[in-house]
Structure 1
Amino acid sequence: MRSALATLVLVVAVGGAQAQQQLPTVPELLTAELKATLACDGSGDPAVIREQCRLRDRLGGRLAQAGYCWGRKGQTDEKKEWHACQPDSIYEDDIEAVSR
């Protein structure tokens, strides 16, 4: 009986750990990035704004890892939006950005 209970607890624990490791979907990342961008561009507590801007940047990196790009070549900033990267997309070169 004890071993059956221990096995059940282990199965539940492993299942819970796998559920916690599930990565967010692209739509979830897009929603979170938009929310962080709005908070970053807003007014109020400077510490909160800095935190939201850092969050926006991290989410942008996650979107880039998922194959999404911010804007297309020749677009004005007002027209840029996240989209699945295409040949005319603007790719963020993280290595080059760090070297500047």
Structure 2
Amino acid sequence: MRTALAALALVVTAGDAGAQQQLPTVPELLTAERKASQACEGSGDADVVREQCRLRDRLSGRLAQAGYCWGRKGQGDEKKQWHACQPDSIYEDDIEAVQR
């Protein structure tokens, strides 16, 4: 995830000084994450599925950076959805995940 974020930072800073790069909005990220997630869970070409799973993970990280969380504490997987983080939300902790 850090590599993807570092690459994103380079792309943003490397842009033309006169042109302002427009970052995707949260609704655009949510739509892209949903499509990538569906493709990741699908069947077919293993390389395509793997790439869609990677894309889903990168988009999930960007949503987390934007203050969005996937699910709430005590909620079953079938009910989880992206939402603006609140005290009962499940927070994605990337630092803890790499230390496991």
TM interval, short-chain normalised: 0.7 to 0.9
Is 1:35 the counterpart of 2:35 in the alignment? yes
**CA deviation vs aligned residue, 1:41-98 (integer Å, no higher than 9, x gap):** 0000000000000000000000000000000000000000000000000001100000
Q: Which amino acid aligns with 2:57?
A: D
Is 1:83 the counterpart of 2:86 in the alignment? no
Q: Which runs of 5+ in 1 are unaligned?
A: 1-12
TM-score normalised according to structure 1 size? 0.82
Q: Which runs of 5+ in 2 are unaligned?
A: 1-15
Percent of matched pairs sharing the same residue: 85
**Greater gyration radius:** 1
Partner of 1:25: 25
The alignment of Structure 1 onto Structure 2 pairs a total of residues equal to 85
Structure 1 segments (4+ residues) deviating >4 Å:
none
Q: Which amino acid aligns with 2:70?
A: W
Q: Which has the higher helix share?
A: 1
Matches within 5 A, 1:40-59: 40-59=40-59
Partner of 2:4: none
* Aligned-pair Cα RMSD in Å: 1.1
**Offset at residue 14 of structure 1 (A):** 5.3
**Offset at residue 33 of structure 1 (A):** 0.1
